[in-house]
Amino acid sequence: MKVALVGATGLVGGVMLKVLEERAFPVDDLLPVASAKSVGSTIRFCGKEVPVIGMEEAIARKPDIALFSAGGSTSLGWAPRFAEVGCTVIDNSSAWRMHADKKLIVPEINGHLLTPEDRIIANPNCSTIQLVMTLAPLHRAYQAKRVVVSTYQSVTGTGMKAVKQMNNERDGVSGEKAYPFPIDRNVIPRCDAFLDNGYTKEEMKVVHETHKILDPAIRVTCTAVRVPVTGGHSEAVNVEFARDFDLDEVRKLLREAPGILLLDDPANDEYPMPMLANGRDEVLVGRLRRDESQPNTLNLWVVADNLRKGAATNAVQIAEHLVRTGLLRAKASSAV
């Protein structure tokens, strides 16, 4: 198995390397790919130093699979080039998510939709993944009608520059800024650029991607906020169902759902927090309670490591699904 990792020197790329190694994904030949300034450097994988190469060299070596985490413009320009040589691309950017002919995949929910013809597969937004992972079993049981979600997003979602800004502010050091305001001891009600409707791109990603993955009939609204933490994104979720629910049954559904870890014992201070999600692949769910202001409505608190299940792990899980189901071999053989 020849695996290219595009964006290998970035924050998510580094986590992808770690996840590939931890999960013992069958990598026989790793091709770390990065920008020209990083070519010739090395990254460490499975105890070995592996040289970083450029795009053209990676394409010439015809990888079986390419994990992309290098931004939307890079993905739009280069993912089709990899696909042309028989490579299956799993893209972590927003570039392909809403294309009608591209699948937007969370393996636990809709991995079964993948076919041998899917050469470019989109990885959802980090905030969307943890939301739909939680909603999916409940939507099947009770039919979600409306979802109100407020996110509390880690600075790691912005990247290394944002983490450095926060740490510099905590240490009283001047430096380059990722945000127009201080982030330490502050919250910024903006994730990504503002759109004409007053929402940010991040907020609308959650809306559109939830529709595409789960059900376009669900009414979704989102407020996305950046908070001075690392470790994971948190979400306060309010969901109205068409049918009434029993809280014990809701807990059972979540407890049995793949990829979900239920932490819901407030009396003993057991509930999800970023410090608990950090480094984990599960989506943590807790603070379950009825919304007493209207019927058939549930409040939940959802936390996940945005660099793992929100990005790297989900992408690797897609690759694992392709290998497990034989889809990757089918694509490779059809390309010869």
- Transcribe 115-166 into DSSP letters: -TT--EEEPPPHHHHHHHHHHHHHHHHH-EEEEEEEEEE-GGGT-HHHHHHH
For 51, the token pair is 């040289």
- Amino acid found at 46: C
Parallel, antiparallel, or unpaired for β 219-226 and 65-68? unpaired
H/E element holding 286? strand 283-290
211 is catalytic: no
Nearest to 94 by CA among 133, 126, 127, 124: 124
Q: Residue 233 catalytic? A: yes
Whether residue 284 contacts residue 303, with contact meaning beta carbons closer than 8 Å, is answered with yes
The DSSP symbol for 87 reads P
262 φψ region: left (φ > 0), alpha (ψ -120 to 50), beta (else): beta
Q: Which of 139, 208, 233, 321 is catalytic?
A: 233
Integer CA distances (angstroms), 174 to 160, 164, 171, 181, 182, in order: 16, 10, 9, 13, 11
* Active-site position among 126, 191, 208, 321: 126
Cα-based distances in Å from 70 to 85, 92, 211, 234, 317:
20, 8, 25, 24, 19
Q: Are 310 and 304 in contact (CB under 8 A)?
A: yes
CB 149 within 8 A of CB 234: no
Tokens 């050469």 belong to 119
Active-site annotation, residues: 126, 233
